[in-house]
Amino acid sequence: MDVFCRCDGCPGCSEEGNELGGACSNPPQKYVNRIQRRDGEVKTHDGFRKFCKPCLRAREKARQASNRAARSGGDGASGSARGGYDAVSANRPRIVLFGDSITEQSFGEGGFGAALANRYARRADVILRGYSGYNTRMAVGLLPYVFPLDDPNPPVFVTVCFGANDAVKPGSTMESKQGCPSEEYRNNLRAILEHLHKLSPRPRVLVMTPPPLDAIAWKKTCDDRGYHADPEPDRSMTVTESYARVALEAAEVFSAVNNRAKVTGLNLFIGLQRGAPPGAPGGWEKAFLSDGLHLTPGGYRRAFELMVPVIEGKLGLALAASEDPSDFPPFLDVPNDRATAKDAIDAFAAKRMKTDP
């Protein structure tokens, strides 16, 4: 099985995976791509779509109707802006990275966002939804906008990484701006997971703990940038560690209560403290933290190293690159001729979207 079928207990297309509503027990559509290279060698790649043939056929009819309406100007949209092969969810899945500034900066040098986009190039679109300074209280307010429940193409995988701001020390200036009590933090994480669990199909979810910090270095950053005038650091390892435990517990409890939920936690707080290169000057604090709180390129690379085994192992997200691209054919299989290049791509797309039994 590959990512195109996301029904639990696959193979099969149940009400869990049928975005069109109702129960469906039909087997998913199996595909086999056979590509004959110019040297005569034939390569094959097979797997399952995430919808059975009747569901995929109904989905394609709905897409075509939407395109016809758009071309006729019925909704004021242009035909090129709606639908299309590359916009079909069964073609290219989506990954959403949801979190605070740790996530927002993850497309920088060494960032796990950029690394995931590179790892799953042409197999998934990695979408950044990171919000600097946000805590989980604010994140709950974002849910209907970032993850609308009527989304016809919900993500196959979501990372949730909040807590660095929730864990502001009680009594600090930033408590009133960013702090969130640990019990509310737990409830907010549960609300986020419950919302994601309502998407159809349900995404796999990785709850990432806040990373460790260097309180003294972060205090200097706050002083230098004029964030506040507190005489003591506004964050501490002790408080952040307690929030990290809550995040892991929230993921574990949610997965246990919802026994079909593919939700798990990742302990960045511990993982980043254990992965510094041997003999690194200043230890993990200097190797992995840029300002006492946010990550260096090395810190992001370490986070990515921790993420991949969980994503592809424990959560079973089968998106790693195979020899042949999944969305469109390799360039060597497209004739470099103006008259036939488009025809070859059109034929490939038509075959991929073929819905006849």
Catalytic residue positions? 101
| Residues near 111 by beta carbon (within 8 Å), at least 6 away in sequence | 105, 297, 300, 304
In 3D, which of 182, 170, 295, 186 has the Cα closest to residue 230?
170
Instruction: Judge contact between 123 and 47, C-beta under 8 A.
Output: no
Which pair of structure tokens corresponds to residue 24? 């469906």
Distance CA(180)–CA(146), nearest Å, equals 21
DSSP characters for 32-98? EEEEE-TTS-EEEEEEEEEEEHHHHHHHHHHHHHHHHHHHTTTTS--GGGS--GGG-TTTS-EEEEE
Q: For the chain, how many residues are written?
A: 357
Phi, psi of 186 (to 5 degrees): -60, -45
For 293-341, give the DSSP string. Answer: SSBPHHHHHHHHHHHHHIIIIIS-------SS-SSS--GGGS-S-TTTH
Which residue intervals of 47-149 are DSSP H helices? 53-71, 101-104, 112-119, 136-146
Q: Please give the structure tokens belonging to residue 356.
A: 């006849």
Span between the terminal Cα atoms of the chain, in Å: 19
